[in-house]
Amino acid sequence: MSRQFHRHGISAIALAGALSAFLIAWYFYPWKARWGRTTFPGVAFSFTPDYATAAVRYANGTEIRLPPAYGSLAYRNFMRREESSLPTGGLLCEYIPPALRSLALGRCNSEADGDLAGAEALMRELRASVASVMGTNFCYASMTSRNIFEAQGVPKSILEKALQNIGLVQGNMIDAGRGALAFNGLDTYPETGLPPALVLVVDHSDYGTSSQVFWRDEEVLHGDAIGDGAFRDVLRAVVGPKLLENAATADPLYASAVFAARSAYDTINRLDFGEEPAFGCCWKSQFHNCWEYRQVVHVCQ
């Protein structure tokens, strides 16, 4: 009798252990979110020297474009400066809030510190607008800006640090010109056998004009002032009337932001997406299962 009880007891313990292991694996297995769950929106911020726009991409294909948020004087100066870098006050300044840095005997007051504060203020406004539209907090955002990979482009280190400081995580930064190129469907190479060609991407707005060249015989115009008559006359004289008439101009104000939101949507809904959200971000979500899906998504929904 005791031997039979012992045998049954061991079987019960083994079964309980196997069941516990299954439940633990089920809880933490990142692919679980694929079964019975909807996908999550992609969010992107696009920065220009004067303002920033935001876009949200939903699972059903809906794309929301939010009104531009205009930056402060500090932000506009930073975005126009040829060079900028992160504040160099050391570890002391890393943990002192901007409002209290005047107490650090000038050690934390630098031009770069003002750049960071200006970028952070604009990002917080964008984050609040997106959260209002989505109806919940989110923890991941992609970013785009012009000429970010050029020597005299916008210093992406400042924008990346500002995004981190407001509690958001981003996977990569997208060049605005490339975003506009892809949004207009011109990000693929010509068919095999055709000669190499170029595509001219022109960003024109009140803050100025910039251009980039890619491989294809096309032209892309983006920015909030591409309809300006004087600008188009000059461009017509440079590239010719035919190229200007056939230029791709789809959604010039939001082309880069929408493409970046699409990219963010694809990224955060990949099975292998494993970036951790910022500490405390999911606590602000109105939904109860943000941490359960932390290995797959950063949008707390």
Does pLDDT of 217 surpass 50?
no
Phi/psi region, residue 67 (left: phi>0; alpha: psi -120 to 50; beta: rest), is beta
Strand partners, 209: 204
Query: What integer pLDDT is reported at residue 266 of this predicted model?
Result: 81
Q: Note whether residue 59 is domain-resident.
A: yes
Q: Which helix (H) or strand (E) is 53 found in, with range?
A: strand 51-57
Same domain, 257 and 127: yes
Number of compact structural domains in the chain: 2
Per-residue pLDDT tens over the stretch 105-126: 455 555 556 788 888 999 999 9
**Which range of residues forms the domain containing residue 153?**
42-178+253-293
Q: What is the pLDDT of residues 34-75, one digit of tens each?
A: 444 446 788 989 888 888 889 998 888 888 889 889 888 888
**Predicted local distance difference test score (pLDDT) of residue 49:** 81
Domain boundary among 205, 220, 245: 245
Are both 214 and 126 inside the same structural domain? no
- The candidate with the shortest Cα–Cα distance to 89, out of 100, 73, 77, 79, is 100
Q: Express each pLDDT in 245-257 by its tens digit.
A: 544 444 567 777 8
Do 169 and 193 lie in one domain? The reply is: no
For the chain, give the percent of residues with pLDDT over 90. Answer: 6
Q: Are 169 and 47 contained in the same domain?
A: yes
Same domain for 131 and 274? yes
CATH classification of the domain holding 277: 3.30.420.40
Q: Clarify whether residues 84 and 205 are in a common domain.
A: no
What gap in Å lies between CA 244 and CA 237, rounded to an integer? Answer: 10
> If you compute the radius of gyration of the chain from its CA atoms, what whole number of angstroms results?
25
pLDDT value at 178 more than 80: no
Q: What's residue 153's pLDDT?
A: 46
Look at residue 217 and tell me if it is in a domain: yes
> What pLDDT does residue 127 have?
92
pTM to 2 decimal places: 0.62
Q: Are residues 119 and 222 in the same domain?
A: no
Give the pLDDT band (50/70/90) at residue 157.
confident
212: Cβ–Cβ under 8 A, 6 or more apart, which residues? 147, 175, 177, 178, 200, 201
Helix (H) or strand (E) holding 52: strand 51-57
